[in-house]
Structure 1
Amino acid sequence: MAKASSKSPAQKSAVQPSAAVPDKRRVLIVDDHPIFRNGIIQLINHEADLEVCGEICSAAQALGAVDQLKPDIVTLDISIQGTNGIELMKSIRAVHPQLPALMISMHDESIYAERALRAGARGYVMKAASSDKVIEAIRRVLSGGLYLSEAIGGRLLDTFLTGRPSEPGTSAVEQLSDRELEIFRAVGEGRGTREIARTLFLSVKTVETHRAHIKEKLHLKTAPELVRAAVEWVNREANL
């Protein structure tokens, strides 16, 4: 992942906001992939009614940038430096409950879209979506609406109307809490318990407790089984 230096574009944008342009809605981008950031900046700045007011690559910078730049909307990825987009979304929501937010991520929407909405996001769009869809999602969220793909929107509506999951055979991974899923992903990425604890600012005992709950929910008996299942899940998601 890209690391922000003292002279990185991400930090410069937070300290030196661009001059306001009348009638343009300001977008703050939080994403630790430089290539994607550059691409979406060009995409947004090409629109007559939108402009990027800042780009941030880490969770540590995000809340300060929101305070300083006062964007009209913030876009976040699931994977960012320092935490994950779901937890960052919760933090932003707690301090700025009225700020619209849109998740733009490569990660499986069937796993993360509903979690993002519960955390406070107003929409979820995959990075693989067309440029038109991304802009449509930004504008819809800015206008006070929700944005989801037709597949996920239909699934959530069915769940709401029937009171039961619309896909009885969905992955057991969906049963994991947000924190458990974060730890499950970290295990699949090859990180050990102590590293996970240090990164997430948790105690080793807390991480071990979460691992035990994950094994129970996924019907896994041993630590090697947990690691194997997590690696397979991470690899499968990467190939979606």
Structure 2
Amino acid sequence: MNKGQQGGDEFQVAPSAAKVRVFLVDDHPVVRQGIAMLIDQEIDMCVCGEADNADDALAMINQLKPDLAIVDLSLKDSSGLELIRDLQIRDPRVVVLVLSMHDEAFYAERVMRAGARGYMTKDEGTEKVIEGIRLLLDGQVYVSDRVAAKMIGKLIGGRASNWTKVGCLTERELEVFELIGSGLGTREIAGKLHVSVKTIESHREHIKEKLGLATATELLKNAVQWMQFERKC
């Protein structure tokens, strides 16, 4: 057992195996480096691995068995939201904290439904990351102050953002909506999602109904605007 001295009192140094193991998933190396430095300063935490895409993250998490994963929503050639869903199926033991620049008013609720236990934006203070990790590991849920305020405002009937209606779409409808906004036609979307053209046409009609759109032109215009909005986040 490793031991040390501090002020004349003997204390035991916890072995590294006893530390909380955190895995980082972000497609920006500088962001991963900054978070890793922050976490490694904590005496009871360590970063056990990193990845910039969902496939590598799943493989490494399966191998390294972290206690918690910090996940961005925009990853290299993949989706953080899909990664969260896959983790819930493959290893629900891993606690997920989302750290992203995406619109928290829209995505916080969505990632929670996917299985994440916390959501914070990258412009939150760095000390909030450690606070969020500790709350999640204590069995609690973490959202930023702004997310909490907007959720409460939504519950009491406050005015929501311009894109609140998009939050009413199902996961598949949102996927179709974003593919429309990316310039894909109905047949291309059907091929990409491995479903029939008729199924995509049905999704398009449901999306128009939920968003209050009358024509295919309005649907395309709104989908393109949504994708432009997302790229700014």
Q: TM-score range by the shorter chain?
A: 0.7 to 0.9
- Return the alpha-carbon distance in structure 2 between the equivalents of residues 75 and 211 of structure 1: 34
User: Deviation at 1:233?
Assistant: 2.3
User: Deviation at 1:96?
Assistant: 1.9
Tell me the residue number matched to 2:98.
Answer: 103
Residue by residue over 1:171-225, the C-alpha shift from the partner in whole angstroms, topping out at 9 and shown as x without a partner, is 21121112222332333344555555565x4325244432332122112233332
Secondary structure at the aligned position of 2:204 is classed as helix
C-alpha RMSD over aligned residues: 2.7
User: TM-score, structure 1 length as denominator?
Assistant: 0.76
Tell me the residue number matched to 1:167.
Answer: 158
Q: How does 1:110-149 map to 2 (within 5 A)?
A: 110-149=105-144
2:105–2:150 Cα contact (<8 Å) kept? no
User: TM-score, structure 2 length as denominator?
Assistant: 0.78
Say which of 221, 224, 228 aligns to 1:228. 221
- Return the alpha-carbon distance in structure 2 between the equivalents of residues 116 and 183 of structure 1: 18
1:86–1:178 Cα contact (<8 Å) kept? no
Secondary structure at the aligned position of 1:74 is classed as strand
> Which contiguous aligned blocks of 4+ residues in structure 1 show a shift greater than 6 angstroms?
none
Residue by residue over 1:78-100, the C-alpha shift from the partner in whole angstroms, topping out at 9 and shown as x without a partner, is 22245422232122112222221
In structure 1, stretches of 5+ residues that fail to align are 1-19
User: Deviation at 1:102?
Assistant: 0.7
Tell me the residue number matched to 1:16.
Answer: none
Q: How does 1:9-88 map to 2 (within 5 A)?
A: 21-81=16-76, 83-88=78-83
Establish whether residue 202 from structure 1 lines up as the match of residue 190 from structure 2: no
Greater strand share, structure number: 2
Tell me the residue number matched to 2:179.
Answer: 186
Residue by residue over 1:88-137, the C-alpha shift from the partner in whole angstroms, topping out at 9 and shown as x without a partner, is 21221122222211111111111111111111111001122221112221
| Percentage identity across paired residues of the two chains | 44
- Return the alpha-carbon distance in structure 2 between the equivalents of residues 50 and 71 of structure 1: 11
State the aligned residue count. 216
In structure 2, stretches of 5+ residues that fail to align are 1-14
Q: 1:69 to 1:145 in 2, by over 3 A?
A: same
